[in-house]
């Protein structure tokens, strides 16, 4: 198939979240499976150009946004067989950041991503382009189906993937004409959303098929509690709504080949994992002791990730024989909570505020347990990476966590982690206590770690499911 993927991020060029990993890995695997894959990404200032030849390609197109015509130029890079096209417009993309600065979101984000979307539409609707399916991702590209179907009247199949429903692209209604869209789209069954316009809603309404990044999340978002106001629209499209679990790049996340960790290991040499723990305990100023369970947490420090529960249970947790190491950044109140704890309990609790890929790998390799008490989690990569490194996840049963982690207490022969069902501090603490109890049983714990490390979270299975959705989207419009 000729597959066009459109995204605001892609590894290894620009990453601000899991979306970048998904687009980078999925496109590579699809090429390996015999498809022709083109990915469109904006040419931000922060795009990492090191080691790649950016060559100007295609004819520029003129895009009308915000009352004037602006030029989109295109630069091509071949990335492991994937044709990556960077859409260039210095006015919109030659800025310090991708979405926002410390002052907040760029106020013209609707115009920036509207411009990007329309530029892509102009290219793929030109006669020379062969396209079997367009795969859009999140609100930044959700105007593509709106333009293709409503404005251009094209019968090109579109799949929209929702990576996190919490981000929808909501803008004042007067943004509609600035994007060159007619007022007849300002209705409840199109882009209108409580007096504003909602770009993701437009994408949900006009795409042929929609998917989220795990089967459980695709059901949860049809409920008011997880729907962020879009549950009704999603319910109305439930026959076209799917859930496909993300994979991880198992070549990159591999304790056997990982150059950033202190000691490489695999499922057969798992005893070597201990060296990673002892070295990290030392590096982070924690008590160095091999019997002490080390609990790792690598996360954005935001409400979604279960910080409120952690704040309630942490004193009880630290009263026991444990070490905790946290890497993350986010809301100031949670950063301060972590910094205070590290100050108060130096030998048991260590934190690094910031984004640090090397330390992240070291924590996955060193820790015995990994926390993901998320309130909601569309898919979650952390638990899959942790499992691959033999760090046993302790998770809330939601979204992708529910689809990847089986509770060991309930199912000792298949369990790969510890799961709590009610989003309550006491349930979280109970799951942790169950994990700490099993940790004391050396033989049981070793068996659990080996089973975790043998699990397969590679992209191939999911890529096959995306192929099926692409075919279904094609059938829908033929
Ligand atoms: P989300 O995309 O909601 O942030 P995921 O679990 O899907 O959560 O993906 C998070 C990814 O980012 C994981 O690969 C995790 O290791 C990584 N990560 C998160 N915070 C940090 C950090 N502070 N430093 C390094 N890597 C981080």
Question: Ligand 1, from 360, 362, 367: best to mutate by most atoms within 8 Å of Cβ?
Answer: 360
Question: 197 and 238 share a domain?
Answer: yes
Joined together, the tokens standing for residue 44 give 């931000």
Whether 103 has a pLDDT exceeding 90, the answer reads: no
Ligand 1 centroid from CA 18, angstroms: 7
Q: How far apart are CA 268 and CA 286, in angstroms?
A: 28
Residue nearest to atom 8 of ligand 1 (CA): 380
How many helices (DSSP H) and strands (DSSP E) are in the chain?
Answer: 17, 20
Joined together, the tokens standing for residue 7 give 């995204």
Where residue 355 falls among pLDDT bands split at 50, 70, 90? confident
Question: 439 and 469 share a domain?
Answer: no
Residue nearest to atom 13 of ligand 1 (CA): 382
pLDDT of residue 128: 80
Whether 91 has a pLDDT exceeding 80, the answer reads: yes
pLDDT of residue 102: 80
In a domain, 124, yes or no: yes
Length of the chain, please?
478
Range of the domain at 356: 267-454
Atom in ligand 1 nearest the alpha carbon of residue 400: 7
pLDDT of residue 308: 96
In a domain, 258, yes or no: no
Burial of 443-452, coded b for 16+ CB within 10 Å and e otherwise, reads eebeebbebb
* Tens-digit pLDDT profile for residues 38-78: 999 999 999 999 999 999 999 999 999 999 999 999 999 99
Q: Which position has the higher pLDDT, 330 or 370?
A: 370
Residue nearest to atom 19 of ligand 1 (CA): 299
Ligand 1 centroid from CA 276, angstroms: 20
In a domain, 262, yes or no: no
* Tens-digit pLDDT profile for residues 393-438: 999 999 999 999 999 999 999 999 999 999 999 999 999 999 999 9
In a domain, 369, yes or no: yes
Joined together, the tokens standing for residue 274 give 């201990």
Report how far apart, in Å, the C-alpha atoms of 463 and of each of 32, 33, 37, 351, 470 are. 10, 9, 13, 36, 10
Question: 315 and 218 share a domain?
Answer: no
Ligand 1 centroid from CA 352, angstroms: 14
pLDDT of residue 256: 98
Whether 28 has a pLDDT exceeding 90, the answer reads: yes
Ligand 1 centroid from CA 434, angstroms: 25
Where residue 101 falls among pLDDT bands split at 50, 70, 90? confident
Question: 231 and 293 share a domain?
Answer: no
3-state secondary structure the chain: CEEEEECCCECCCECCCHHHHHHHHHHHHHHHCCCEEEEEEECCCCCCCCCCCCEEEEEEEEEEECCEEEEEEEEEEEECCEEEEEEECHHHHCCCCCCEECCEECCCHHHHHHHHHHHHHHHHCCCCCCCCEEEEECHHHCHHHHHHHHHCCCCCCEEEEECCCCCCCEEECCHHHHCCCCHHHCCCCCCEECCEEEHHHHHHHHCCEEEECCHHHHHHCCCCCCCCCCHHHHHHCHHHEEECCCCCCCCCCCCCCCCCCCCCCCHHHHHHHHHHHHHHHHHCCCCCCCCCCEEEEEEEECHHHCHHHHHHHHHHHHHCCCEEEEEEEECHHHHHHHHHHHHHCCCCEEEEECCCHHHHHHHHHHCCEEEECCCCCCCCCHHHHHHHCCCEEEEECCHHHHHHCCECCCCCCCCCEEEECCCCHHHHHHHHHHHHHHHCCHHHHHHHHHHHHHCCCCHHHHHHHHHHHHHHHHHHHC
Residue nearest to atom 24 of ligand 1 (CA): 355
Whether 82 has a pLDDT exceeding 80, the answer reads: yes
Question: 427 and 316 share a domain?
Answer: yes
Question: Ligand 1, from 9, 11, 17: best to mutate by most atoms within 8 Å of Cβ?
Answer: 17
Atom in ligand 1 nearest the alpha carbon of residue 21: 14
Average of per-residue pLDDT values in the chain: 96
Ligand 1 centroid from CA 357, angstroms: 9
Q: What percent of the chain has pLDDT over 90?
A: 96
What is the number of domains present in the chain? 2
Atom in ligand 1 nearest the alpha carbon of residue 328: 23
Residue whose token pair is 């115009």: 111
* Tens-digit pLDDT profile for residues 124-148: 998 788 999 999 999 999 999 999 9
pLDDT of residue 478: 84
Ligand 1 centroid from CA 184, angstroms: 40
Phi then psi for residue 220, to 5 deg, are: -60, -40
Q: How far apart are CA 8 and CA 114, in angstroms?
A: 12
Atom in ligand 1 nearest the alpha carbon of residue 17: 2
Quick one: average pLDDT of 144-159? 96
Residue nearest to atom 15 of ligand 1 (CA): 382
Ligand 1 centroid from CA 381, angstroms: 7
Question: 33 and 149 share a domain?
Answer: yes
pLDDT of residue 239: 98
pLDDT of residue 313: 98
Ligand 1 centroid from CA 13, angstroms: 17
Q: Which residues contact 216 (CB under 8 A, 6 or more apart)?
A: 243, 398, 399, 400, 402, 403
Atom in ligand 1 nearest the alpha carbon of residue 383: 6
Question: 13 and 155 share a domain?
Answer: yes
* Tens-digit pLDDT profile for residues 216-234: 999 999 999 999 999 999 9
For 269, other C-beta atoms within 10 Å of its C-beta total 12
pTM of this structure: 0.94
Question: 416 and 473 share a domain?
Answer: no
Ligand 1 centroid from CA 369, angstroms: 16
Question: 289 and 237 share a domain?
Answer: no
Ligand 1 centroid from CA 259, angstroms: 19
Q: How far apart are CA 308 and CA 294, in angstroms?
A: 21
Contact 133, 211 (CB under 8 A): no
pLDDT of residue 47: 97
Q: How far apart are CA 186 and CA 164, in angstroms?
A: 24
In a domain, 162, yes or no: yes
Atom in ligand 1 nearest the alpha carbon of residue 304: 3
Q: How far apart are CA 83 and CA 426, in angstroms?
A: 50
Residues with CB under 6 A from ligand 1: 17-18, 298-300, 327-329, 355-357, 360, 379-382, 385
In a domain, 122, yes or no: yes
Question: 473 and 428 share a domain?
Answer: no
For 364, other C-beta atoms within 10 Å of its C-beta total 25
Question: 25 and 158 share a domain?
Answer: yes
The C-alpha torsion from 88 through 92 and 95 to 97, rounded to 10°, is -100
Ligand 1 centroid from CA 383, angstroms: 10
pLDDT of residue 127: 76
In a domain, 255, yes or no: no
Residue nearest to atom 2 of ligand 1 (CA): 18
In a domain, 259, yes or no: no
Ligand 1 centroid from CA 327, angstroms: 9
Question: 156 and 28 share a domain?
Answer: yes
End-to-end CA distance of the chain: 15
Q: What is the CATH number of the domain that holds 412?
A: 3.40.50.2000
């Amino acid at each position: 198939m000729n597959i066009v993927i459109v995204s605001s991020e892609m590894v290894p060029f620009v990453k601000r979240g899991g979306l970048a990993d998904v687009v980078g890995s999925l496109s590579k695997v699809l090429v390996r499976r015999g498809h022709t894959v083109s990915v469109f990404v904006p040419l931000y200032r922060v795009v990492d150009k090191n080691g790649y030849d950016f060559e100007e390609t295609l004819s520029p197109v003129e895009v009308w946004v915000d009352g004037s015509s602006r030029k989109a130029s295109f630069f091509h890079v071949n990335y492991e067989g994937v044709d990556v096209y960077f859409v260039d417009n210095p006015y919109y993309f030659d800025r310090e950041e991708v979405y926002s600065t410390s002052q907040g979101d760029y106020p013209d984000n609707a115009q920036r991503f509207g411009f990007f979307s329309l530029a892509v539409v102009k290219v793929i609707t030109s006669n020379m382009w062969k396209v079997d399916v367009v795969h859009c991702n999140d609100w930044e590209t959700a105007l593509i189906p709106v333009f293709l179907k409503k404005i251009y009247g094209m019968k090109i199949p579109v799949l929209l993937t929702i990576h996190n429903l919490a981000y929808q692209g909501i803008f004042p209604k007067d943004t509609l004409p600035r994007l060159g869209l007619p007022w007849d789209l300002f209705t409840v069954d199109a882009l209108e959303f409580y007096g504003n316009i909602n770009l993701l809603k437009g994408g949900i309404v006009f795409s042929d098929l929609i998917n989220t990044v795990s089967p459980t999340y695709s059901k949860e978002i049809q409920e008011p509690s997880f729907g962020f106001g879009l549950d009704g629209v999603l319910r109305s499209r439930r026959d076209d709504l799917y859930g496909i679990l993300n994979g991880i790049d198992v070549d990159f996340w591999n304790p056997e080949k990982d150059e950033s960790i202190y000691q490489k290991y695999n499922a057969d040499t798992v005893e070597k994992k201990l060296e990673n723990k002892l070295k990290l305990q030392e590096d982070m100023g924690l008590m160095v002791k091999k019997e002490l369970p080390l609990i790792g947490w690598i996360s954005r420090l935001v409400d979604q990730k279960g910080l409120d529960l952690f704040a309630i249970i942490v004193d009880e947790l630290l009263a026991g024989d444990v070490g905790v190491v946290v890497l993350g950044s986010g809301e100031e109140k949670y950063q301060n909570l972590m910094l205070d704890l590290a100050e108060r309990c130096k030998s048991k609790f260590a934190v690094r505020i910031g984004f640090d890929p090397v330390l992240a790998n070291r924590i996955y390799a060193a820790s015995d347990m990994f926390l993901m008490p998320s309130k909601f989690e569309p898919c979650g990569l952390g638990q899959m990476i942790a499992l691959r490194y033999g760090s046993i996840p302790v998770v809330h049963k939601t979204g992708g966590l529910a689809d990847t982690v089986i509770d060991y207490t309930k199912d000792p022969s298949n369990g790969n982690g510890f799961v709590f069902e009610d989003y309550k501090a006491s349930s979280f603490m109970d799951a942790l206590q169950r994990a700490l109890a099993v940790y004391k049983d050396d033989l049981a714990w070793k068996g659990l770690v080996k089973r975790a490390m043998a699990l397969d979270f590679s992209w191939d299975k999911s890529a096959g499911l995306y192929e099926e959705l692409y075919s279904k989207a094609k059938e829908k419009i033929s």
